[in-house]
Structure 1
């Protein structure tokens, strides 16, 4: 061995060890990533799906069932019976199980497709609904900054900025509420609530808005109604949203009527308007996230389509129900019930 080879041998050996060590680390990392990808429960949790709606888990089950079916059929057919009818029944039973499992897989893919669609709609609506008030705020600030407007005009612009800021805050709060509802983490604190006082206060606060839109707003309810069991803060937002919608989507001179009545162990609320109504072929989508009917979009472009989704979740969380009746061009009536406080 030459002197050069003698000195280089340890260096080459150390490089070889380094390469081997790096290869082992990389292999372990790849194996860890692969195991994470093969973990069906992680995907189920990530997409907020039940196990039997999670494609990766169902694929795993389906594979195991296929393997077990082939082995089981072979053993039964060759060792335990010589009757082909029994084997045929086993095959039919396994085929039915696989068919049902395949249906669950399809349903799981539908859920993922819907989630992806909702994500796209969320980006579109959020960007549109935030861009409009931000543009108004920027325009108002530029006018104030130029110093060419009177104090009265500046006060108007500041009021506009406040209004648009409140609008963005409401949008963000709605989006946060939707996220909490879907994750099952919506904060809900039910307690004894005087529904008459609560609704009367909302009607009084909405009267100016109603008059500005040439709408007659009236409440029919008895002051002696029993209290209900719900979260007063959340149900206030629900009732406010329903009344605002009734006013907003009634064009020209119209009427919005709110009625409260006791029915068995519930208080039934009715909010009736003489507005544009909801097309028959779109009524089944009314409580879905981001949905807004075509005729409403013609009259009112501002809106997220989140209010009724949140309303349904809050009312059902209270132990009540919500439904509606509508005829396009003649108006809509929303009904909901809340349990009487025991």
Structure 2
């Protein structure tokens, strides 16, 4: 069949359009592959940074504990003042190691989808006092005063004591790290519309504008030393945010450079339908398992 000049031109135009469309799709696929490859490269780099920093946070306290224990074992009899100093240092390093490991394990639970809330009746004043005491040595090292204020209307609150403890620990640790020497930290806990409201305020370095959208990113590293997440590897605050989300809560912050940062956490009352596992002021123990009492 003989094609007319018009038919030939139309066929060539159709094939040109098809080839042009195929070329456009090929370019889009190549661009997408480049984007995915870049993202994977960045992800691997960030994870490597994360692992490197986590390794330091675990190895350093452990090495200190081993070194202090060795020195303690070789002290001469009767040198009790040095024994007391070394015992306090060992306790501080052991607490730091335990604190970091809890964050790592909790992050793993969250990733595995195994971090469902386990509710109990929590003694709020007791847990606040305990956390304040836990960070006493770390705060004293920078001559920082931790001021706690538990409103009179709150004694007990229904929540997950383990998650609440980690949330408070991370916020206090972050506040101490980025406070100036001889400063103070305000920790206030109240009830607002039956919900638990927690505010942690430091008067230190503040969060740089470049980092404010990144502080809850688990793998992000920052270009400045201003209020990067806990211990500098982005794990503490990311775990805090994830735990608050699991409790259907909310976290926000206000910050100003060289004037400090205020974190505000709202944890809702889960309601009467939630099963209670017991009564506690300590994430490591339940005093009894009698939900009908409440």
State the shift of 1:310 in Å: 0.7
Matching of residues 24-63 of structure 1 within 5 Å: none
Rounded to whole Å, the distance in 2 between the matches of 1:217 and 1:268 is 16
When residues 103 and 311 of structure 1 are mapped into structure 2, their CA distance, relative to the original with a 3 A threshold, is farther
| Structure 1 contact 191–232 (Cα < 8 Å) conserved | yes
Matched position secondary structure for 1:294 = coil
Q: Of 107, 110, 115, which residue of structure 2 is paired with 1:187?
A: 115
Rounded to whole Å, the distance in 1 between the matches of 2:17 and 2:123 is 64
TM-score by length of 1: 0.60
| Structure 1 contact 326–333 (Cα < 8 Å) conserved | yes
CA offsets, 1:243-300, max 9 Å, x none? Answer: 23223422234332234455567443222221121112222221122546733589xx
Unaligned runs of 5+ in 1: 1-80
Q: Of 228, 253, 263, which residue of structure 2 is paired with 1:334?
A: 263
Q: Match of 2:275?
A: none
Matching of residues 50-199 of structure 1 within 5 Å: 88=17, 92=21, 104-148=32-76, 150-152=78-80, 153-181=82-110, 183-191=111-119, 193-194=121-122, 196-197=124-125
Q: Match of 1:223?
A: 153
Matched position secondary structure for 1:284 = coil
CA offsets, 1:77-119, max 9 Å, x none? Answer: xxxx979679959975x77766665565445334422331133
What is the Cα-based RMSD across aligned positions, in Å? 4.0
When residues 176 and 226 of structure 1 are mapped into structure 2, their CA distance, relative to the original with a 3 A threshold, is closer
The alignment status of 1:307 with 2:236, answered yes or no, reads: yes
State the shift of 1:156 in Å: 3.6
When residues 89 and 185 of structure 1 are mapped into structure 2, their CA distance, relative to the original with a 3 A threshold, is same
> Which has more radius of gyration?
1
Structure having the larger proportion of residues in helix: 1
Unaligned runs of 5+ in 2: 1-9, 272-294
Matched position secondary structure for 2:102 = helix
Rounded to whole Å, the distance in 2 between the matches of 1:134 and 1:226 is 36
Q: Match of 1:276?
A: 205
State the shift of 1:315 in Å: 0.6
> Which deviates more from structure 2 when the two are superposed, residues 155-164 or residues 171-180?
155-164
When residues 180 and 246 of structure 1 are mapped into structure 2, their CA distance, relative to the original with a 3 A threshold, is same
The alignment status of 1:233 with 2:162, answered yes or no, reads: yes
| Structure 2 contact 251–264 (Cα < 8 Å) conserved | yes
The alignment status of 1:294 with 2:201, answered yes or no, reads: no
Q: Match of 1:205?
A: 133
Could you say which structure has the greater relative contact order, defined with CA pairs below 8 angstroms and 6 or more residues apart? Answer: 2
Rounded to whole Å, the distance in 2 between the matches of 1:210 and 1:158 is 14
User: In the comparison of the two structures, how many residue pairs are matched?
Assistant: 258
Rounded to whole Å, the distance in 1 between the matches of 2:13 and 2:123 is 70
When residues 100 and 227 of structure 1 are mapped into structure 2, their CA distance, relative to the original with a 3 A threshold, is farther
CA offsets, 1:151-197, max 9 Å, x none? Answer: 4134543443343234333323322322333x333422242545844
Rounded to whole Å, the distance in 2 between the matches of 1:210 and 1:168 is 13
